[in-house]
Structure 1
Amino acid sequence: MQAYKGRAGSSPRAQSGTTLAGFGCRMEDHAKHVQPMPLPATQQNLNYRYPQIFWVDGCANTSSSCSSASPIAPFPPPVPDRRKKPRNKTERRSTGFLVMSLLILLALTGVGLSMFQIFHLEKELAELRESASTEHIPPALEKLIGQKEEAMKKEPRKAAHLTGNPAQQDLPLEWEPISGHAFTSGIQYRDQGLVINETGLYFVYSNVLFRGSVCSNQVLTHIVYKKNPSLPSSHVLMEDKSINYCTGQKIWARKSYLGALFNLRNMDSLHVNVSKIALVNFEESKTFFGLFKL
């Protein structure tokens, strides 16, 4: 119990709205349990009064605690830490599966790159062995040669070789395109000349054998020229002139050979002209005309 001291004339109920220190009960709840202590008779007649002393014997109901009469507010629950978001088992499993998948993909990529590098090295080694067995021909040059050979097999090379034709009528010279050594491949023989059907580099050649039984020392002329429908006139490609080729009345012979590389266009036609048809020997091995594309 705890002693309560009040001022004279004050009633215990005046303090019923206050709460005793150390107890959880309010005075208004326990006023009826406060019993005043009587003073001796000698002191009741005094002019002054002592302050009354009251004894407070706890709560009215001894079976229930004071806290049940006026419950004290419990402490608030702790605030959860929101910085750490709880993860369930499904999220952890998904994260682990993703990490494992990435590791497996990385491993497979490394294996693939290693296999590709090994295959590339084996290929280079095979090329080096092959080049060593073929007299050290570089692989690039060998590949180019193979491509050229395949192109030649697929498409015949553009070339022509014409031989002399004794049945001459007029200039320019007429030629034999198919008999003997003569042939045409990708080149057309028309109007006493060779017609180009594809622009490119061509090697053109012509050989004429002049011969006679009388020496007149006239100028011998051998010309190769070209024509084109888009050009107003012909254009000389090669020319040879001979003088003083014989003496006295003896039989004589004079060979004239022309050959050079030209860039010819489509529809160009090449012809051969001489100063005098009667002085030309038209044997196929002595007088001929031809070209081939590079």
Structure 2
Amino acid sequence: MQPQRGRAAGLGCRGGDELPPVQQNLPYYPHIFWVDGYAETAAPCVPAVPSAPFPPPVPDRSRKPRSKGRERGERSRAGFLVMFLLILVAFTGVGLSIFKIFHLEKEVDELREVRFAWLRAGKGEKEERNEARRAAHVTGNPAQQGLPLEWEPSSGHAYTSGVQYEARGLRVSEPGLYFVYSRVLFRGTACDSPLLLAHVVYKRNPASPGSLVLMEDKAANFCSGQRMWARSSYLGALFRLRRMDSLHVNVSKIALVNFEESKTFFGLFKL
């Protein structure tokens, strides 16, 4: 009996199913066939391995998929954070506005204090100017040595402010409107006729020659008989004076003038 090698070979592997060898470390067990009482080892045959694509990548277990609830929580936290930041910005703006308002109120109070201080200083300066107004009031001086009349510039009711008393007259150093006045009291023990009394106020200026009469009063036939008499002459008017104008008083009879400070005086003041 012929050994059926072909069959044994056929049983071992099919020619049509042969696959290219795949280098894999797989355990291999040879097939044993019994033919006519003895065993024969079949030729090695590589088992058919189905072709398969590469396996998909293994997902990263460290990153767990986010659930919908977790995403909603994160969105809520993000919205809350944004709202908190907006509220914080709003409160910051309000705080800055309040600070700015307080700062402005402080500046306004300081400006008011400065304004009040300036007004007080201006008022005080105005009062000082009023106190230091250019004016003079001189009184009669019994120690007469001729004309024009001499005056007392400082004692008693007499004073000078911004006006100089020199050369028996009042000299102004600032031009402007001045009110000028003079009073002279004449008094005698008998009326000698004819008797003429004259009272004159005139001015001089170094830039102009001569003198200019400003005011004048004359009186005649004011007394009769051999008895005591008195007559008062008063002059007063407003004049525009120039710088360095000097004013003087002249009378017709020095011997008849009463030089008491309350009865005979001379003065001016700037308006």
Query: Which of 227, 235, 239 is the aligned partner of 1:258?
Result: 235
Report whether the alignment pairs 1:166 with 2:170: no
1:147 CA displacement: 4.9
Q: Which residue of 2 aligns with 1:233?
A: 210
Query: Which of 139, 148, 154 is the aligned partner of 2:126?
Result: 148
SS in 2 for 1:270: strand
Report whether the alignment pairs 1:211 with 2:211: no
Between the two proteins, the alignment pairs up a number of residues equal to 174
Letter of the 1:165 counterpart:
N
Query: Which of 253, 262, 265 is the aligned partner of 1:288?
Result: 265
Alignment of 1:193-208 (within 5 A): 193-208=169-184
SS in 1 for 2:210: coil
SS in 1 for 2:216: strand
Cα distance per residue 1:136-167 (max 9 Å; x no partner): xxxx9x998555214346xx222211111112
Q: Confirm or deny: 8 A CA contact 1:217 1:245 kept in the other structure.
A: no
Query: Which of 190, 198, 209 is the aligned partner of 1:221?
Result: 198
**Cα distance change of structure 1 residues 144 and 248 upon mapping to structure 2, 3 Å threshold:** farther
1:291 CA displacement: 1.3
Q: Report the identity percentage.
A: 65
Query: Unaligned 5+ residue runs, structure 2?
Result: 1-92
1:247 CA displacement: 2.1
1:278 CA displacement: 1.0
Q: Confirm or deny: 8 A CA contact 1:281 1:287 kept in the other structure.
A: yes
1:243 CA displacement: 1.9
TM-score (norm 2): 0.54
Cα distance per residue 1:180-223 (max 9 Å; x no partner): 22222221111111111111222211110001112124221101
1:232 CA displacement: 1.4
- 1:251 and 1:217 map into 2 onto residues whose CA distance is 16
1:234 CA displacement: 0.5
1:179 CA displacement: 2.2
- 2:127 and 2:143 map into 1 onto residues whose CA distance is 39
1:169 CA displacement: 1.7
Letter of the 2:237 counterpart:
A
**Cα distance change of structure 1 residues 187 and 245 upon mapping to structure 2, 3 Å threshold:** same
Report whether the alignment pairs 1:190 with 2:166: yes
Cα distance per residue 1:101-155 (max 9 Å; x no partner): xxx9xx98xx77xx58x959x96xxx9xxxxxxxxxxxx9x998555214346xx
Larger RCO: Structure 1 or Structure 2 (Cα < 8 Å, ≥ 6 residues apart)?
2
Alignment of 1:1-294 (within 5 A): 119=108, 147-152=125-130, 156-215=132-191, 216-294=193-271
- 1:243 and 1:144 map into 2 onto residues whose CA distance is 53
Deviation >4 Å, runs of 4+: 142-147
Give the number of the structure whose residues are more often strand, by fraction: 2
Q: Confirm or deny: 8 A CA contact 1:240 1:256 kept in the other structure.
A: yes
Query: Unaligned 5+ residue runs, structure 1?
Result: 1-103, 128-139
C-alpha RMSD over aligned residues: 3.5
**Cα distance change of structure 1 residues 150 and 286 upon mapping to structure 2, 3 Å threshold:** closer
TM-score (norm 1): 0.50
- 1:196 and 1:238 map into 2 onto residues whose CA distance is 18
- 2:185 and 2:129 map into 1 onto residues whose CA distance is 37
Q: Which residue of 2 aligns with 1:60?
A: none
SS in 1 for 2:209: coil
**Cα distance change of structure 1 residues 182 and 147 upon mapping to structure 2, 3 Å threshold:** closer
